[in-house]
Amino acid sequence: MSDASHVPVLLDRVLDLLAPALDVERPVVVDATLGLGGHTEAMLQRFEHLHVIGIDRDPEALARSRQRLAPFGDRVTFAHAVYDQIVDVVHEAGFSSVSGVLFDLGVSSMQLDLADRGFAYAQDAPLDMRMNNEDELTAADILNTYSSRDLARVLREYGEEKFAKRIADAVVAERAREPFTNSARLVDLIRDSIPQAARRTGGNPAKRTFQALRIEVNDELGVYRRALPASLEVLAPGGRVVVLSYHSLEDRITKRAFAEVTTTDVPRDMPFVPAGHEAKFRLVTRGAEMATESEIEENSRARSVRLRVVERNEA
């Protein structure tokens, strides 16, 4: 069996949910988070007439997925872009609309595995965390230049870190002695900043801070807030958007965006919905679906996943 960290999360369920939308003459799916191409490979194998547009901001990920997906030839279009550019990417690939869009959010297994990228707190590495190494802002820049107040805000909002102020104050005090460059020193500082009782549960205490820094470096939530409505805009009638999210911040954005497009402005007690007031989309999943215990056992990354799907109505 392949390394669990490289197994796409909820793979069979994702394929089953996309299948009805792909029962058209020339189906096109946007894999908005191509990564190592695991979901795309499985889609191309199962749906023989499918064309996939794979988007990734990480040049390393694109290079690896190109190699993996080479056997599928021109059935794949690769785009080095941030996924909030989805409408432009689809049009540049020669399509006016698509049958499906897949978002597998968060950091990819490849990015975690490459120590020099600085995403993983378990090993000492440069504090980089850029998904696209052509961008300027790094995690070290944030730690060394943000005020204590701004740093605490980032840790609180994006990491949901209870001890954000303590950590931020400690970072500002420590960087005056020597700027931050590598992750091990930051991990030690976080551990020392959190009360011992709070360290006994919830895994590595650095997890929330590293998540927050990564989100800030890559503007992940801002990009996703723009990308999700854009993906709905480019969807053909009967098409579906499938979202896999791994923390409450992403899932909240998804839930709100889907609720907005699946409700009408017609009062509930009206016996019918007047023409022109129908919801443009319908929810395919009831609430958020989670992984089964057997899937979590096989792939630990599935533990926190939340799956939501919406479909554009035919009308």
For residue 83, say whether it is annotated as part of any ligand binding site.
yes
Distance CA 286, CA 130 (A): 35
Q: Cβ distance 75 to 52 under 8 Å?
A: yes
Hey, what are 152's tokens?
């605490």
202 is in an annotated binding site: no
Q: Would you say 269 is a known binding-site residue?
A: no
The verdict on whether residue 100 carries a ligand-binding annotation is no
**DSSP element (H, E) containing 251:** helix 248-262
Place of tokens 């096989």: 298
Q: 276 burial class (0-12, 13-18, 19+ CB within 10 angstroms)?
A: exposed
Q: What contacts 293, CB < 8 A, 6 or more positions away?
A: none
| DSSP code for 234 | T
Beta bridge partners of 79: 55
Cβ atoms of residues 237 and 314 within 8 Å = yes
Residue 39 annotated as binding site: yes
Task: Find all residues with CB under 8 Å of 93, minimum gap 6, and list them.
Answer: 53, 77, 79
Partners of 258 in the β-ladder: none
Query: Per the annotation, does 276 bind a ligand?
Result: no
Handedness of CA 231, 5, 106, 309 (dihedral sign): positive
Any binding-site annotation on 246?
no
Which residue do the tokens 């794949």 mark? 76
Which residues carry a binding-site annotation? 37-39, 56, 83, 104, 111
Which residues carry a binding-site annotation for S-adenosyl-L-methionine? 37-39, 56, 83, 104, 111
